[in-house]
Amino acid sequence: MVVTTENIPGYKVVEVKGIARGGVVRATHLGRDIIAGFRNLVGGEVKEYTQMMAEAREIALQRMIQHARELGANAVIGMRFMTSNVGQRMAEVYAFGTAVVVEPE
Domain count, the chain: 1
Tens-place pLDDT, residues 77-95: 999 999 998 877 788 999 9
Domain that holds residue 54: 11-104
Mean pLDDT of the chain: 88
Tens-place pLDDT, residues 7-35: 999 999 999 999 999 999 988 765 555 55
Residue 15 in domain: yes
Residue 62 in domain: yes
Residue 63 in domain: yes
94 close to 18: Cβ distance less than 8 angstroms: no
Q: Cα(11)–Cα(97) distance, rounded to whole angstroms?
A: 17
CATH number at residue 56: 3.30.110.70
Tens-place pLDDT, residues 47-65: 778 888 999 999 999 999 9
Q: What is the DSSP string of 16-32?
A: EEEEEEEEEEEE--HHH
Residue 2 in domain: no
User: Which stretches of the chain are assigned E, i.e. beta strand?
Assistant: 11-27, 75-87, 90-104
Q: What pTM, to 2 d.p., does this model score? A: 0.85
Q: Cα(63)–Cα(55) distance, rounded to whole angstroms?
A: 12
Can you give the pLDDT at residue 40? 60
Q: Is 45 helix (H, G, I), strand (E, B) or coil?
A: coil
Residue 6 in domain: no
